[in-house]
Structure 1
């Protein structure tokens, strides 16, 4: 048993949590409180392209009180808050996070909690961790230090939020892929969770599979023995519809594809069915952390896709967070300062 797992086991046993004797045993089912926390996420929205940009504002959006108030008034009850911590920390050990940025994130979390939201705070877009090319303005560090730096970032983030109430959940990393696929992510997630558990012994922590949190990689995901875990998946199927014309996909996918015929509905439903079966066998709740269709698709198709995905998730008892509030996939138009009414109704209207 690794040192990280021994630390985790000791912390959990001290709090009376049941853990198996062997690290090779199946992980225990989620505790009732963690299941309740997953359910409390309900219908949510991602505040994307804000704190996950290389610098806040670099992608055209800043997190504002307006967005917080509007999202609440629209009926969303959780916010997933993507944060690019990696570009706001020193390149050398101990990789200190900029105090001003830590304060900025903390103030955003506090404002969301004060409004009444349940908040998912994550680490997002650490490009080197996945082996991706850096974005303009990203900070590079020596490749040999990337994993250690990831862990040291969590060693700073976790204590900062240790005294927040139960409506704050932590997500270890968004969409691990590339160099993390499969076993490398299992090892790194186990170490990160052990670090988080030093200051959050029972707070729900969200962990997803590799290949961009794709349900297809759930069979590769090995979770540590911990009763306070929620599994997350992202679902953008059918991808050629949801990402048509996206500038970050090369070569760009052709425009003009509509949704949703019978085959497309089956395609979008299949990952949720797979996630439900995998999680049910382990007694874990599932959180659909991202889904959405780009604004370059026609409105009627976006509405049909969004409603179909929402219905498929809710039929399986999954809480969800739409991607995202006000950028390329946005449910809210920041120029008009109004929600896109038909899209919002697809998310929040009566079943």
Structure 2
């Protein structure tokens, strides 16, 4: 008997022997009961007695059966119930009234024939005690094991609809949300193994229960995926992997003013590498948290929700919407209505659920089979076939019509260039001590800043020039950022203010000059060709698009834009050193020469309007947990390696 714990539980339910993949197949769409049983308060002033007092800490009413019924009514058939334990423990023992309250909320969902996930939640994170670190590791491991011994034993008779998730978003002592040390990744894997071993030893239906294990910080970066180790299990095919991804983060979080998300690819770029990694480990993967706050941009959020869940569904990934009743609110927990039904409706339809924004949702072919039944034959997920890209190739005889690229985005071309593990290109090392002119291979003309003033928004074009006597607005300096990318500085002004910038990751996005702001729209990579030329790819497009001359024009004033890689010479560039950067001062000669107006063409589309951008705003200062709730979890790093809070 566990000290201080009421151990009576439901009688043993019939447990179907299902695989992890079968459980994922049976889940349609999931929802998080966030900021409820996971609440905690720093310096809370001691034990509060009532479990419901903890549930109210962050402004939400305690969970009720009516709330869960409202969620299930939409067609959602899986609920993740985050639970924080350490504020309701005496030593290493969980208080009996807390376990009873967790059971009560779990039963609301289980009685609705709904899949349920419970976990160890804010015991991890910035303010948690459980860290992925070797410091104090033994004591933390023992406490972690004790929690799972008690939780697993308490719920051991529940059937396959109850899933255990080892921990939420575990980070190191330095609050790094990615790129921690090898030793810390190993500790993260060790805790996953301890979780699996502990549950399997606890008896009852836990011997064959499906379990969920997270990456470090539940992150989706290549380093976190590659350093995840699948735990050894006494039974096969019972482990699900979980990640969290709020992307693009400046669109998703209220600390930023971005009301648009860039390109569609920015929404789902992480999915293929995530599925690929866990497929190699023989594990299905779920997205345990995702969402985007309201910024008065409901129509854009509807489109984002559609793109996110459509791409996840196509890859067999089931998603759990994060709903915290606050910044990420979706369900009105008092009025039992939905704040943004159109956003939720867009998500549900991609999983085959028809819901009109209120009332009952329907699914043509239900995946949550009533229990108990014979074990169905598993239908393994197979990725949808990706069409082979057909790059444009010029005909042998020039035609009168100018070449125009196709409008359909393509995957990274299979062109023999060296790749990184995430599919991006390996870039060349460029000498940062030189001053360069950048010449287009197709036209023979040079990259040119179309203006003399030092200001944001100057357009970039091509123009004739002499390498012996270049204008200062035709000379450039490069400075390495990280991961093979460079800033490309114009030498206008002091040569350290304006950098090349692309508006976003979409085809046809304009290239201009902007003040350096640290965003990936200013990161460029020089991918070398065998003839000594380069394709200049953009981080904004995740290396899928290149800097090019619009429509392959060859005359002065032709605009520079970004477009998908298609192997045309208008996307190839030469770097021509014309001087040394260090210690060089500009002479009076290389001043920008006024340009005549380019002759209009009936076939050339108008150049994009250049919108001036403000300089980057200071990053928000982290604030304590409690009233600000979960913000501190979402650390990321930019490509300079600097941490920030999205």
TM range (shorter): 0.7 to 0.9
Q: Which residue matches 2:557?
A: none
Higher relative contact order (CA 8 A, sep 6+): 1
**Distance in 2, Cα, partners of 1:297 & 1:87:** 37
Q: Is 1:197 equivalent to 2:200 in the alignment?
A: yes
3-state DSSP of counterpart to 1:196? helix
**Kept after mapping to 2: 8 A contact 1:235/1:268:** no
Q: Which residue matches 2:187?
A: 184
Q: Classify 1:33/1:73 alpha carbon distance in 2 versus 1 (closer, same or farther; 3 Å).
A: same
Q: Which has the higher helix share?
A: 1
Q: State how 1:36-55 maps to structure 2 within 5 Å.
A: 36-54=22-40, 55=54
Q: Give the C-alpha shift of residue 105 in structure 1.
A: 0.4
Q: Is 1:224 equivalent to 2:231 in the alignment?
A: yes
What is the CA deviation profile of residues 39-92 of structure 1, one whole-angstrom value per residue up to 9, with x for unaligned ones?
Answer: 2222010010110112211112221122101101111110011001122112x3
Deviating more after overlay: 322-331 vs 163-172: 322-331
**Distance in 2, Cα, partners of 1:117 & 1:162:** 17
Q: State how 1:105-124 maps to structure 2 within 5 Å.
A: 105-124=102-121
Q: State how 1:1-351 maps to structure 2 within 5 Å.
A: 33-54=19-40, 55-61=54-60, 62-90=62-90, 92=91, 95-127=92-124, 130=125, 132-133=126-127, 145-179=139-173, 181-199=184-202, 200-216=206-222, 217-226=224-233, 227=236, 228-245=238-255, 254-255=256-257, 257-262=258-263, 265-296=264-295, 298-324=297-323, 326-334=325-333, 336-339=335-338, 340-349=340-349
**Distance in 2, Cα, partners of 1:335 & 1:163:** 32
Deviating more after overlay: 99-108 vs 325-334: 325-334
3-state DSSP of counterpart to 2:301? helix
**Kept after mapping to 1: 8 A contact 2:117/2:162:** yes
What is the CA deviation profile of residues 294-317 of structure 1, one whole-angstrom value per residue up to 9, with x for unaligned ones?
Answer: 234622232222221111110101
Structure 2 unaligned runs (5+)?
1-16, 41-53, 130-135, 174-179, 353-646
Q: Classify 1:295/1:196 alpha carbon distance in 2 versus 1 (closer, same or farther; 3 Å).
A: same
**Kept after mapping to 1: 8 A contact 2:246/2:291:** yes
TM-score computed with the length of structure 2 as normaliser: 0.44
TM-score computed with the length of structure 1 as normaliser: 0.79
**Kept after mapping to 2: 8 A contact 1:233/1:288:** yes
* Number of corresponding residues: 298
What is the CA deviation profile of residues 124-176 of structure 1, one whole-angstrom value per residue up to 9, with x for unaligned ones?
Answer: 0114xx4x2369xxxxxx98733321221111111111000111111001112
**Kept after mapping to 2: 8 A contact 1:260/1:304:** no
Q: Which residue matches 1:21?
A: none
**Kept after mapping to 1: 8 A contact 2:65/2:105:** no
Q: Classify 1:344/1:277 alpha carbon distance in 2 versus 1 (closer, same or farther; 3 Å).
A: same
What is the CA deviation profile of residues 6-26 of structure 1, one whole-angstrom value per residue up to 9, with x for unaligned ones?
Answer: xxxxxxxxxxxxxxxxxxxxx
**Distance in 2, Cα, partners of 1:242 & 1:343:** 13
